[in-house]
C-alpha cells in the first residue's frame, strides 16, 4: 500500500490515511509513504493507488501522541511518516508506550520533535528583516534557511512580535507573509530574491556592538547557540570575529591590570570617634580630616579610604564626579584612573589647567562588588548620595567657586539635590539656589564605555564643547590668575 500526502506538512492527510490503515489492519511493514511532487521511490507503484476506503470503527490515542506527531511531521527525514504510523499501530496494545524512553521508536520520535523545536527556536532568534521601500510603505523581508519544515509553525511568533509591520520571510521551501491582519504561505523562492543590504543594517550592527559585553563572552556557548551556518544571513556576523578577538585582548588587559584588593595595612585604622558630616563649614584640610572617618553610610566599610576633593582652596571652578573608582580608592585621590585620564585630555583640549580647579566626587567612598580579583564598580544609590551630600555642600561653601560642573547623573543629583536628566540639561548654565552657576555634562566613564569608535569621537567632542563653556567662565574670573 502506498500513501501519497499532499505536502511535507500534511498532518491532516497523514492522520486520515493512518486512521484508515489501522482500522483496515494494514501492518506498518505493508505501507510506504511519500509526498506529492517527490521523486517516486524504488518500490512505489507507478500509478497512484486510490486511498483505502475508511472502514467504520474508532480508536483513541493519547493527546501526547497527537502533539508529538504534529511536531515530528515537520522533521525533514522522509522516514517520519512511517515511524509515526509504526507508533500509532503499536499504541492500542500498549497505551503507555510513549513513556518508555528506551523504546527505539519512542526515542527516535522524541529526538525528531526536539530537533524541530530547536529549529523553530533558531528561526525566531536569527531571522533579520531588511527594509524594502521607505516608511510608511516599507515592507520588511528576511531570508532564512530552516533545517525542517517549520515556516508555518514559526510564522505566528513573527506575526505577534512584528504585528504592525508588513513582512515576508523567504525560505527555499515556503515563504510566510504578514500584511498586518493575516499570515499567508506561498511556495519557496531562491535566495537571489532576498534583499541583502539596507539602511537598517548599520543601525543593527551598532546596536549589536553596543550590547556585546566582553566580560560575558563565552565563545563556545555563543557558537552553539548561534551556529556558523546562520552567520551568513546576519548583518552582525561581520562583527562577531573582531568582537571575539577584541574581547580576548580586553580580557588580557583586564587581567594584566587586575585591581588588587586593598592590603589590610592600607586601610585606615578604625577611628575611636567615627564622624558624620556636619553642616559647619571649614577649610578644606579640616574637612578632609573629618571626612576620613565618615560613617554616614555603609560604604566606608569595604572601601580603602575616603577620597576627598583636591585642588586650590580658591579655585573658580569645581568639577564633581560620581565616586572614586578602584584606582582612586587605592591612591586616595580623585580621577587618577582611566576616567581621570580621559578627563585630563578633555580639560586640556578645552583649555582648562587641572591644577587650577577643584575636583571632587558626589560620593566619597568606592562602592563595588568583588568579582575574583577584580572590584566591579557599582553605582551609588540615592541614600548614599544623600548621606554624602553634606561633604559636597561644605566643600562648596569652603571653595565658593563661580561654576560647578556636574559630570553624570549622580553628580547632577548631588549638585541640584534632585534628579536632573543629563540630555535635557547639559551644556547650559543653570543658577543654583545660592547664586553659583552650574553646568551639567556627561561623566568621562560614559565615553570610555561607548563601543563604537565613531560615537565615541562624537561624544568626546560634545564633552569638550561643554567644558569649553566652563573655560570661558574661567577666563573671565578674577580668581583664574
Q: Under the rule (CB under 6 A), what is the footprint of ligand URA?
A: 321-325, 328, 334-335, 337, 339-340, 361, 445
**CB nearer ligand URA, residue 71 or residue 445:** 445
Q: What's the rounded Cα separation, in Å, for the pair 231 and 240? A: 9
Q: How far is the CB of 339 from ligand URA (least distance, A)?
A: 4
Q: What's the rounded Cα separation, in Å, for the pair 376 and 248? A: 19
**CB nearer ligand URA, residue 146 or residue 321:** 321
Residues 48 and 92: beta-carbon distance below 8 Å: no
**CB nearer ligand URA, residue 379 or residue 428:** 379
3-state secondary structure of 84: helix
Q: How far is the CB of 387 from ligand URA (least distance, A)?
A: 17
Residue 136: asked if its preceding bond is cis (omega within 30°), the reply is: yes
DSSP codes, 170-201:
E-SSEEEEE-SS-EEEEE---GGGS----THH
Contacts for 156 with CB less than 8 Å, ≥ 6 apart: 183
Neighbours of 111 (CB within 10 A): 11
Q: How far is the CB of 406 from ligand URA (least distance, A)?
A: 11
- Positive or negative torsion for Cα 233, 239, 244, 245: positive
Q: How far is the CB of 223 from ligand URA (least distance, A)?
A: 36
**CB nearer ligand URA, residue 146 or residue 337:** 337
Closest CB to ligand URA: residue number: 321
**CB nearer ligand URA, residue 209 or residue 387:** 387
Sheet with 130-132, side-by-side order of all strands: 130-132, 139-143, 167-170, 174-178, 183-187
Q: How far is the CB of 260 from ligand URA (least distance, A)?
A: 17
Q: How far is the CB of 340 from ligand URA (least distance, A)?
A: 6
**CB nearer ligand URA, residue 28 or residue 325:** 325
Residues 421 and 306: beta-carbon distance below 8 Å: no
| Residue keyed to cell 556627561 | 442
Cross-strand pairs, 143: 170
Query: Which helix (H) or strand (E) covers residue 422, if one does?
Result: helix 422-425
**CB nearer ligand URA, residue 84 or residue 411:** 411
Q: How far is the CB of 470 from ligand URA (least distance, A)?
A: 17
Amino acid at each position: 500500500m502506498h500513501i501519497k500526502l499532499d505536502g511535507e506538512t500534511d498532518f491532516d492527510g497523514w492522520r486520515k490515511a493512518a486512521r484508515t490503515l489501522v482500522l483496515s489492519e494494514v501492518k506498518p511493514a505493508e505501507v510506504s509513504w511519500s509526498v506529492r511532487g517527490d521523486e517516486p521511490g524504488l518500490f512505489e507503484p507507478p500509478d497512484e493507488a486510490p486511498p483505502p476506503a475508511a472502514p467504520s470503527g474508532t480508536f483513541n490515542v493519547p493527546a501526547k501522541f497527537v502533539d508529538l506527531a504534529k511536531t515530528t511531521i515537520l522533521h525533514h527525514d522522509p522516514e517520519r511518516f512511517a515511524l509515526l504510523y509504526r507508533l500509532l499501530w503499536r499504541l492500542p496494545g500498549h497505551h503507555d508506550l510513549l513513556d518508555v524512553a528506551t523504546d527505539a521508536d519512542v526515542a527516535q520520535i522524541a529526538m525528531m520533535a526536539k530537533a524541530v523545536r530547536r529549529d523553530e527556536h533558531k528561526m525566531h532568534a536569527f531571522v533579520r528583516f531588511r527594509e524594502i521601500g521607505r516608511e510608511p510603505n516599507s515592507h520588511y523581508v528576511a531570508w532564512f534557511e530552516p533545517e525542517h519544515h517549520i515556516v508555518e509553525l514559526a510564522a505566528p511568533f513573527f506575526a505577534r512580535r512584528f504585528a504592525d509591520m508588513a513582512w515576508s520571510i523567504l525560505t527555499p521551501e515556503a515563504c510566510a507573509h504578514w500584511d498586518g491582519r493575516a499570515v499567508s504561505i506561498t511556495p519557496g523562492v531562491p535566495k537571489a530574491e532576498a534583499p541583502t543590504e539596507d539602511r537598517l543594517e548599520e543601525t543593527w550592527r551598532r546596536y549589536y556592538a553596543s550590547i556585546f559585553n566582553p566580560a560575558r563572552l563565552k565563545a563556545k556557548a555563543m557558537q552553539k547557540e548561534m551556529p556558523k551556518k546562520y552567520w551568513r544571513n546576519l548583518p552582525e556576523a561581520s562583527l562577531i570575529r573582531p568582537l571575539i578577538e577584541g574581547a580576548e585582548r580586553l580580557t588580557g588587559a583586564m587581567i594584566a591590570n587586575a585591581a588588587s584588593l586593598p592590603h589590610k595595612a592600607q586601610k585606615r585604622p578604625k577611628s575611636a570617634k567615627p564622624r558624620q558630616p556636619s553642616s559647619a563649614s571649614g577649610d578644606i584640610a579640616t574637612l578632609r580630616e573629618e571626612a576620613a572617618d565618615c560613617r554616614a553610610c555603609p560604604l566606608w566599610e569595604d572601601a580603602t579610604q575616603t577620597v576627598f576633593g583636591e585642588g586650590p582652596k580658591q579655585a573658580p571652578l569645581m568639577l564633581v564626579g560620581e565616586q572614586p573608582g578602584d584606582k582612586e580608592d587605592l591612591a586616595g585621590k580623585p580621577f587618577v584612573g582611566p576616567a581621570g585620564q580621559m578627563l585630563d585630555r578633555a580639560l586640556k583640549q578645552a583649555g582648562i589647567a587641572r591644577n587650577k580647579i577643584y575636583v571632587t566626587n558626589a560620593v566619597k567612598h568606592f562602592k563595588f562588588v568583588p568579582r575574583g580579583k577584580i572590584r566591579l564598580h557599582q553605582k551609588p544609590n540615592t541614600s548614599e548620595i544623600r548621606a554624602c551630600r553634606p561633604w559636597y555642600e561644605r566643600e562648596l561653601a569652603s571653595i565658593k567657586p563661580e561654576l560647578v560642573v556636574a559630570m553624570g547623573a549622580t553628580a547632577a543629583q548631588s549638585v541640584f539635590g534632585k534628579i536632573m536628566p543629563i540630555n535635557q540639561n547639559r551644556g547650559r548654565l543653570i543658577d543654583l539656589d545660592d547664586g553659583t552657576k552650574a553646568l551639567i555634562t556627561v561623566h568621562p566613564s560614559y565615553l570610555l564605555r561607548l563601543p563604537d569608535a565613531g560615537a565615541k569621537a562624537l561624544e568626546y567632542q560634545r564633552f569638550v564643547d561643554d567644558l569649553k563653556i566652563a573655560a570661558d567662565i574661567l577666563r573671565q574670573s578674577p580668581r583664574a590668575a
